[in-house]
Amino acid sequence: MKITDLKKRIGALAAAAAVMCTVPVYAGAEENAALYEELSGQGERAELPEGWLLWHSYSDYSALDSRLYLRSPEGTAAEITGNFIHAMNGSFGSDPGTFTFMAIDEAADEWDIFLYRDGVITNLTERSGYRNEDPKFSPDGKTIVFKRGHWDRNIDGFSYDLAMFDTETMEITMLTDAPGEEAMPCFSDDGEYVYYAGYSEGRGSIYRLGISSGSRETIFSEENVNAYYPIVCGDDLYFTKWYSADDHSDQLMKWDGETLTAMPFDSESYDCSDACPIGVEGMIFSSTMEGGYDLYYYDGSTVSALTELNTGSNELGAAFFPYAEESVRGDVNADGALGSADLVLLHRWLLGVPETELTAPENAELSGDGVIDAYDLCFLRRLFAE
């Protein structure tokens, strides 16, 4: 059954068992329409930090015309193209030259997961016979979690499970195996859990899955309210949910492990979705504040439309990789240069001298074996001698 024959069935959701929980009390968004006017109309424009930005743009999801774009820190934007159509939902790996995305393979006419690495694009799930969607990179940039679907005659629709792709071994591991739909997975900041949206009777709830244990925990579930698109930033979880069972306007929520809070720009009058947290307070998000979906940036106090990126189409699915000055290999004291002080500090640390700490331990692993030891000290001496 071809994708192009299934446009009307793309959003079909099957019934699946769901564990309901008590809905947390959260800060509402009733006054946020007026607050947005205050956030966007006063003070200086919210300036997006320097970095790389991925997003996609389409006229309508069913039109299969999505285009994926990458903008550099210098502001140059380029479309990501290849032997595919309807590209979307990009996710950065451990560096801005590596990211994954989903698109329809033109030859096979199926959804696949693609890897972009230094300008080379690889179809990771080519001709698998499955629908492969919603990819997200792990914190270490080695694994991609995604949803994998197949047609289930018993439910007369697609059934989706969660899977992981190891970019080093090129092997796929299934995380779940149940009827219905489990979608939009993302890793926790420590890589030990996967958050995802699980659907029952057409409504999504947010769950957390232990990768090693396989245990499932309900994070958010509200009767007759759809919740989806979880994304993690540090210890905080963000996701999209309906304003209420009667008002299906999307709003963005923040969960810190105890309290669920609506973002200050949410409103029952328009949609806010596709959270892309940046740092402690910043966030790129998509919203229909001014009609169709556009990209906006919130810096913690002000909301501004990213007018240079917004078009007459719908701009969605932002992902951001911050720019940082390149670190110096061997600079374990983080003073910006490689010197004899780094040699002394690493030597003392390896000897276990009390109260000796590496200021920048990420610069100490030089041998490539993933462990900081005497071999790295040898490499550091060579670097210093050069």
pLDDT category at 83 given cuts 50, 70, 90 is very high
Same domain assignment for residues 304 and 347: no
152 part of a folded domain:
yes
- Comparing CA positions, the residue from 154, 117, 113 lying closest to residue 131 is 113
What pTM does this model have? 0.77
295 part of a folded domain:
yes
pLDDT per position as a tens digit, 191-203: 999 999 999 988 9
pLDDT category at 333 given cuts 50, 70, 90 is confident
Same domain assignment for residues 56 and 129: yes
Q: Nearest 10 degrees: CA dihedral of 40, 41, 43, 47?
A: 30
pLDDT category at 43 given cuts 50, 70, 90 is low
Same domain assignment for residues 306 and 212: yes
Tokens of 177: 């195996």
Same domain assignment for residues 313 and 350: no
pLDDT of 28 reads 42
Q: Above 90 in pLDDT, residue 386?
A: no
Same domain assignment for residues 256 and 371: no
331 part of a folded domain:
no
User: Which CATH number does the domain housing residue 105 bear?
Assistant: 2.120.10.30
Same domain assignment for residues 280 and 367: no
Boundary residue ending a domain (273, 292, 322) = 322
94 part of a folded domain:
yes
148 part of a folded domain:
yes
66 part of a folded domain:
yes
pLDDT per position as a tens digit, 262-295: 999 999 999 999 999 998 889 999 999 999 999 9
pLDDT category at 3 given cuts 50, 70, 90 is very low
pLDDT of 40 reads 60
Same domain assignment for residues 33 and 146: yes
Q: Percent of the chain at pLDDT above 70?
A: 88
Same domain assignment for residues 304 and 355: no
Q: What are phi and psi of 383, to 5 degrees?
A: -60, -40
268 part of a folded domain:
yes
- Which of 14-28, 237-251, 279-293, 362-376 has the lowest average pLDDT? 14-28
Q: Above 60 in pLDDT, residue 24?
A: no
pLDDT per position as a tens digit, 148-165: 999 888 878 889 999 999
Boundary residue ending a domain (296, 322, 348) = 322
Boundary residue ending a domain (271, 293, 322) = 322
pLDDT of 340 reads 87
322, burial (CB in 10 Å: exposed 0-12, middle 13-18, buried 19+)? middle
Same domain assignment for residues 311 and 363: no
Q: Decide which of 383 and 54 is more confident.
A: 54
Same domain assignment for residues 317 and 347: no
pLDDT of 17 reads 26
pLDDT of 331 reads 86
Average pLDDT, the chain: 87
Same domain assignment for residues 276 and 313: yes
Same domain assignment for residues 309 and 350: no
Q: Above 50 in pLDDT, residue 11?
A: no
Name residue 201's beta-bridge partners. Answer: none
pLDDT per position as a tens digit, 95-134: 999 999 999 999 999 999 999 998 999 999 999 999 999 9
∠ CA 116-165-316 to the nearest 5 degrees? 50
356 part of a folded domain:
yes
Q: Above 60 in pLDDT, residue 362?
A: yes
- Total number of domains constituting the chain: 2
Containing structural domain, residue 46: 3-322
Q: What are phi and psi of 96, to 5 degrees?
A: -70, -10
pLDDT per position as a tens digit, 207-253: 999 999 999 999 999 999 999 999 999 999 999 999 999 999 999 99
Tokens of 36: 């947005």
E-state strands within 138-226: 143-152, 157-166, 172-174, 181-187, 193-200, 203-210, 216-220
